[in-house]
Amino acid sequence: MKGCEAYNHELDAYIDGELDPRTSELLQAHLPGCGACTGALGRRESLEHVLRSLPPVQPSPQFEARFWARVARAEEGPSWRERWFRVPRLAWVAGGAALAVGLALLVSLGDPALSAQDWAIVADAEGFDLVLEADPELLAALDVLESWRGSEEL
């Protein structure tokens, strides 16, 4: 025996007379004992009545010609202009132009060479560990040492 959910999906086919005889009999037997399905059937029959009472839609005289022209264009594929001006191609061109400008700036400005003094500083710094968090007590001690060393130089 089917539940309401299964019958709910078959109500439209029932209204249109598309159900097989066995399923139609089962649904007819289910409806008197189920208020939810009976209400859903009534709402769908009312909607069906309203939709059938509407006049048929008449397409414009140019509809068929425009429709077949669009089908023909779709079968041909995009024109070379449409393919050329697609966003991905323009994105690649813009990216290439930005890369070229960046390389030109790098070459024209150049990378200044390190002086002998800079290399000495780099060599001395290689033995130090990187401090990620400063210790307030250590910083205070360094301030004291620097001020003391500065007073000796005077």
Contacts of 2 (CB under 8 A, 6+ apart): 26, 30
Which is nearest to 7 in space by CA: 43, 37, 47, 44? 37
- pTM here is 0.40
Residue 97 pLDDT class (50, 70, 90 cuts): confident
Residue 44 pLDDT class (50, 70, 90 cuts): very high
151 located within any domain = no
What integer pLDDT is reported at residue 39 of this predicted model?
Answer: 93
Q: What is the dihedral of CA 84, 88, 92, 94, to 10 degrees?
A: 90
20 located within any domain = yes
Better-scored residue on pLDDT, 86 or 42 = 42
Q: How many domains does the chain have?
A: 1
Taking residues 26-37, what's their average pLDDT?
90
111 located within any domain = no
Compute the distance between CA of residue 43 and CA of residue 48 in angstroms, rounded to an integer. 9
41 located within any domain = yes
Compute the distance between CA of residue 154 and CA of residue 145 in angstroms, rounded to an integer. 15
40 located within any domain = yes
The residue segments making up the domain with residue 30 are 4-53
